[in-house]
Amino acid sequence: MKTLLSLLTILMLSVASMAQEGEDPVQWTQELISTGEGEYELVMKGSIAEGWHVYSQFTAEGGSLPSEFTYVNAGEEYELVGGTLESKTQKAYSEIFEVEETFFKKEAIFRQKVRLLNPGLKQIQVELFYQVCKEVCIPKDVVFYFSLDGEEIIV
């Protein structure tokens, strides 16, 4: 009976660990920082699971797909001030693509400054397409909604 209970416990723990591997390997958070009259910094932070990595916006052409941001209504409602900045990256040569790739491990932080063109703007939508890779690469999309007035986001 003890052997049966032990085997059952091991089986349940194995199933639970496999279920956790099915979870998204990147957990995203966001922050809005007001930097003055109608200017903000949008911060998007990804916490990357052990063994996984996310590619930079600036990884080599011909390699894995880079992270790409779409700032919805930029140029109409607000303007981008400079480019999207990144936290520290790592580089490694890819034997598959034969290029040096740039990526994040453990954490990826992206920062974008914006200046409002429409002072009545209440929210900003940012879309991110990226790849998260371990033995295989998984394409992912995430949408960030930043509330400029503290009100609830309207999707």
Predicted confidence at residue 151, as pLDDT, reads 87
Predicted confidence at residue 155, as pLDDT, reads 82
The domain limits of the chain are 25-147
**pTM summary value:** 0.84
Beta bridge partners of 48: 26
- CA–CA gap between residue 136 and residue 133 (Å, rounded): 5
In this predicted structure, the answer to whether residue 13 has a pLDDT above a threshold of 50 is no
Q: Where are the beta strands (DSSP E) in 74-136?
A: 78-86, 90-94, 99-105, 107-116, 123-133
Predicted confidence at residue 24, as pLDDT, reads 94
pLDDT digits (tens, 9 = 90+) for 37-70: 899 999 999 999 999 999 999 999 999 999 999 9
Which overall architecture, per CATH, does domain 25-147 show? Sandwich (2.60)
Q: Of all residues in the chain, what percent carry a pLDDT higher than 90?
A: 78
Q: The tokens 């194995």 sit on which residue?
A: 14
